[in-house]
Amino acid sequence: MKKILGIRREDKNKWEQRVPLIPEDLKRLKDISGIDAIVQPSQIRIYPDDVFRENGAIVEEDLSRADTIFAVKEIPLDLLAAGKTYIFFSHTIKGQTYNMGLLKRLMELKCNLIDYERIVNEKNQRLIFFSTHAGYAGIIETLFAFGQKMKLKGIDSPLVQIRQAYEYTSLEDAKGHIKQIAHQIIEKGLPEELSPLIVGFAGDGNVSKGAQEIMDLLPIIEISPGQLDGIRKQGSVERNHIYKVVFREQDMVTPLSGDFELQDYYDHPEKYESAMDLHLPKLDILVNCIYWTAKYPRLVTKAYLQGQTSSGMESRLSVIGDISCDIEGSIEITKAGTMPDKSCFTYFPEADAFEDGIQQNGITVMAVDNLPCEFSKESSMFFSNVVKEFAGDIVSADFGKTFDELQLPYPIKKALILHNGQLTYDYTYLEEFI
């Protein structure tokens, strides 16, 4: 029986140009494993249809011949077919209300569901992700927002030259431009009103690493959270560098009693409270890169921001780059995800109100929820390079066998949320959300 995989057309919005498997990797699968690919046509995909054809793929609308269908984003309910194996970001593992209908429909159709987010190794480390590229685009968008906000305040700086991520022709183009801006900061310095400029990164995972990789192209001095007070007291003596501080779990929360223990925090977050109130007034920019669910303390709350305003306490925080983009989550004022062409909104604590766009006053939030799309080619290549290693095993697997008998590599079996429409062992907790 011929092995065929399908690639669904991404159509969630005009920015979604990514593909889970790039043309060259589909050709490799065909040449090495004899797997044919059917790719739905697309007018917006970063790789044109002809490039898929040139690499041996069939470009047609009908994916019915493919038992295994790869996508990036969620698939609309009316396009799901019975008995298929689907691989995409389902956004269900936190019990997300907005996707429980999707999970239920896949169960009714007796489908198999593999979620990229849960493809992990034995150390529970994710193997397939767009996180790094979200970090790349997210910090560029955040610095763009800061530069524009300062311009509205009448403060000009080299940072105002930073463009939005999607306006660059490539990731390398963006890096090259930021290096040019770095030279200007070294040679001419930042305006006195911005110095010392301090950027805080919440988290040190893949998202943060990507964001810091771009940030480190600028002239950076890294400090610890404990050094923040000292830097602020020095005033504006350092104008030719930007200060960077990374907050890890032990910096972001404090135990209600006893000492901080990382595993205890993961297991019992209710025993801890946020410590970010101590740090936030000392930052100019906060870049949020953490994984968050409702059981964990928030980093930024409305109550904190409103309290700062009503008390008249001085706070320099003016821009939050919420790369994680959990709606009303770790950043409570993230009211909605945004699109690249309308990337920001601004929160005014004194009125508990929002305005679209970058405003002179208030806290401006960058909350683009599909940041890797801004570097679609690079992120697709990075992603596909790992997906291709598992694609053959997935397409060749006999899903008619019991879960225990099913032959799949450990990371893929770990990511199998549904097997023939049934929640697998690790995901039975989702029953309470359906």
Q: For the chain, give the mean pLDDT.
A: 96
Q: What is the pLDDT of residue 384?
A: 98
Per cent of the chain over pLDDT 70 is: 98
State which residues form the domain around 243.
131-369
Q: Quickly count: other Cβ atoms within 10 Å of residue 123's Cβ.
A: 5
Pair 405, 295 in one domain: no
Buried b (16+ CB within 10 A) or exposed e, 72-103: bbbbeeeebeeebbbbbbbebbebeeebeebb
DSSP string, 31-56: HHH-EEEEE---SS-SS-HHHHHHTT
pLDDT band at 2 (very low <50, low <70, confident <90, very high): confident
Residue 124 lies in a domain: no
Residue 431 lies in a domain: no
Cα–Cα distances (Å) from 422 to 67, 77, 233, 373, in that order, read 18, 17, 59, 32
Q: What is the pLDDT of residue 308?
A: 86
Pair 71, 145 in one domain: no
Pair 106, 163 in one domain: no
Pair 159, 85 in one domain: no
Could you tell me the two tokens for 156?
Answer: 């000009």
Residue 430 lies in a domain: no
Pair 156, 249 in one domain: yes
Pair 25, 41 in one domain: yes
Cα–Cα distances (Å) from 248 to 38, 89, 298, 318, in that order, read 44, 26, 14, 21
Tens of pLDDT, residue by residue over 321-378, are 999 999 999 999 999 999 999 999 999 999 999 999 999 999 999 999 999 999 999 9
- Please enumerate in sequence order all residues whose Cβ is within 8 A of that of 425, keeping only pairs 6 or more positions apart, or say none: 403
Pair 349, 400 in one domain: no
pLDDT band at 410 (very low <50, low <70, confident <90, very high): very high
Tell me, what amino acid is at 58? I
Pair 73, 197 in one domain: no
Cα separation, 58 vs 35, whole angstroms: 12
Residue 393 lies in a domain: yes
Instruction: Pick the last residue of a domain from 369, 385, 410.
Output: 369
pLDDT band at 235 (very low <50, low <70, confident <90, very high): low
Bin 235: left if φ > 0, else alpha if -120 < ψ < 50, else beta: left
CA 58 to chain centre: 31
The 35-39 sheet, strands edge to edge: 58-59, 35-39, 3-7, 68-70, 85-87, 112-114, 416-419, 422-423
Residue 80 lies in a domain: yes
Tallying the residues shown for the chain, one arrives at 434
Phi, psi dihedral angles at 347 (to 5 degrees)? -105, 135
Q: How many domains does the chain have?
A: 2
Cα separation, 378 vs 381, whole angstroms: 5
Pair 177, 90 in one domain: no
pLDDT band at 309 (very low <50, low <70, confident <90, very high): confident
- What CATH number has the domain bearing residue 99? 3.40.50.720
| 0.85 exceeded by pTM | yes
Tens of pLDDT, residue by residue over 250-296, are 999 999 999 999 999 999 999 999 999 999 999 999 999 999 999 99
Residue 121 lies in a domain: no
Could you tell me the two tokens for 96?
Answer: 């997300």
Pair 95, 186 in one domain: no
Pair 39, 169 in one domain: no
